[in-house]
């Protein structure tokens, strides 16, 4: 039985471990800590099974800038499921619960840099189709967007700026 809930302070070390084990490196785990420490973790959900944290998903603010506009959206990631628990639907439960929570916020759009075969099932589509790009070169199809509010993609164009202080992590 998997329970999806908001992170609590007692989860922090387990969240670190889940990210580190899932990605096979510490960069994403460090990024989660950096986001939390700078109060940029807009939403952080955990998947709990028998008292153990087996998955995690984070959302943080990003800016979409063009010559004459600046729009604040949410970025999905990092997201991680313990290697031994993958492919059993935990990641999907985290994304779906995350999207439900994000829909309750004033944000109107979510972006993600991730696996092009994974996120479309949750309504994400290539950002390039809508004139939105990543400030770095993203692999083809890997940078995706999803509306939280219908019609948002018809009014936004630009380059997504991630917080520069996290680029070095």
Ligand X SMILES: CC(C)(COP(=O)(O)OP(=O)(O)OC[C@H]1O[C@@H](n2cnc3c(N)ncnc32)[C@H](O)[C@@H]1OP(=O)(O)O)[C@@H](O)C(=O)NCCC(=O)NCCS
By the criterion CB under 6 A, which residues form the site for ligand X?
22-23, 77, 79-81, 86-92, 114-115, 117-118
Of 39 and 87, which has the nearer Cβ to ligand X?
Answer: 87
Query: Would you give the DSSP letter of residue 141?
Result: T
Instruction: Give min distance, CB of 80 to ligand X, in A.
Output: 4
Q: Which residue is nearest to ligand X (CB)?
A: 91
Instruction: Give min distance, CB of 68 to ligand X, in A.
Output: 31
| Token representation of residue 155 | 């009014």
**End-to-end Cα separation, the chain, in angstroms:** 34
Instruction: Give min distance, CB of 2 to ligand X, in A.
Output: 10
Gap between the Cα atoms of 76 and 135, Å rounded: 16
Instruction: Give min distance, CB of 133 to ligand X, in A.
Output: 18
Gap between the Cα atoms of 20 and 27, Å rounded: 8
Closest CA to 78 of 132, 53, 127, 41: 41
Of 116 and 157, which has the nearer Cβ to ligand X?
Answer: 116
Closest CA to 112 of 100, 127, 99: 127
Of 54 and 132, which has the nearer Cβ to ligand X?
Answer: 54
Instruction: Give min distance, CB of 92 to ligand X, in A.
Output: 3
Gap between the Cα atoms of 117 and 114, Å rounded: 9
Of 22 and 160, which has the nearer Cβ to ligand X?
Answer: 22
Of 17 and 157, which has the nearer Cβ to ligand X?
Answer: 17
């Amino acid at each position: 039985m998997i329970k999806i809930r908001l992170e609590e302070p007692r989860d922090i070390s387990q969240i670190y471990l889940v990210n580190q084990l899932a990605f096979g490196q510490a960069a994403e785990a460090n990024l989660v800590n950096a986001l939390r420490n700078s109060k940029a973790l807009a939403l952080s959900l955990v998947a709990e099974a028998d008292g153990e944290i087996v998955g995690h998903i984070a959302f943080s603010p990003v800016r979409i800038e063009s010559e004459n506009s600046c729009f604040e959206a949410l970025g999905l990631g990092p997201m991680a499921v313990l290697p031994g628990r993958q492919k059993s639907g935990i990641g999907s439960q985290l994304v779906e619960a995350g999207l439900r929570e994000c829909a309750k916020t004033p944000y109107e759009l979510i972006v993600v840099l991730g696996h092009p075969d994974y996120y479309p099932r949750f309504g994400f589509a290539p950002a390039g189709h809508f004139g939105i790009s990543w400030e770095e070169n993203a692999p083809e199809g890997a940078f995706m967007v999803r509306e939280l509010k219908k019609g948002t993609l018809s009014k936004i164009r630009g380059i997504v700026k991630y917080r520069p202080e996290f680029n070095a992590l």
